[in-house]
Amino acid sequence: MHQALLQQKVARGYAKAALRLGATTAQYRPAALDAPMGAPYATLLAAFNNDKKFGFDGPALWDKPAVFGLLDTTDVLAGDLLTCAGENYFVARLEPFRPPLCILCNRVVSLSGLPGQGSTNGDGGVCTDVGASDDYGTGGNGKTVLASGWPAFIQIRNKGNVTGDSIPGSIKAADYEMLLPVMPNFVPATYMTVTTDLGTTYTISAVEPSQYGNRCLMGINQV
């Protein structure tokens, strides 16, 4: 049987299961960097579980945001955002005959940097020169909001940096890990500022872009 035809049958099977088990879900397909969860792309039924066999025998674990989505996958892409029962998810991976891998988010964030920073070239490469600082760091001023309203998962990566800043009374800051969806024509970059819906700010120190999304290592801004 042709793979595309078989995939259609699988998608219909997921849709029938979601009809019985799922809740109303808004699907978003961001085309811009601001307000990615503005107007819904579609509305469907979906359920989420940490077991790919959908046994529904336990909730998603605190430090393990990866879950599987039970929904009609006919028109679902990696990078789509889903809102279901007050929770935000993003689709990290979708392969034939398998349920989509989704990330359960716990924050909504904005990213700030120099104008043009993080934009990608027409060939898909990251534009690293735009917004680069000079040797004196004078390019570090004048940050502007580059992306806003994006769901993300943030967690502590370790309890604190081994190396300190040698300032008496300073507190060793923990490293934080952030998972972001694939973003249109944009890849987060080091030294960008991340601001959450709680008002907490972080500075990105490393970025791992992939087809799953963007994994960022960050430090919290204490001042």
Of how many residues is the chain composed? 223
Of 188, 187, 156, 150, the C-alpha closest to 174 is 156
DSSP-assigned letter for residue 215: E
Tokens 């716990």 belong to residue: 106
pLDDT tens per residue across span 47-94: 999 988 888 888 888 899 999 999 999 999 999 999 999 999 999 999
pTM: 0.84
pLDDT at residue 195 in the model: 98
* Mean pLDDT in residue range 150-156: 98
Asked if the model's pLDDT at residue 3 lies above 60, the reply is yes
pLDDT tens per residue across span 87-139: 999 999 999 889 999 999 999 999 999 999 998 855 444 444 444 444 433 34
Domain boundaries, the chain: 3-104, 107-220
Tokens 């929904």 belong to residue: 71
- CATH number corresponding to 3-104: 2.40.10
**How many helices (H) and strands (E) in the chain?**
1, 12
Token couple for 43: 């509305």
- How far is the C-alpha of 5 from the C-alpha of 49, rounded, in Å? 26
Of 131, 146, 159, 156, the C-alpha closest to 186 is 146
Q: Quick check: do 3-104 and 107-220 share a fold?
A: yes
Sign of CA dihedral 145, 195, 106, 100: positive
- CATH number corresponding to 107-220: 2.40.10
pLDDT tens per residue across span 7-20: 888 899 999 999 99
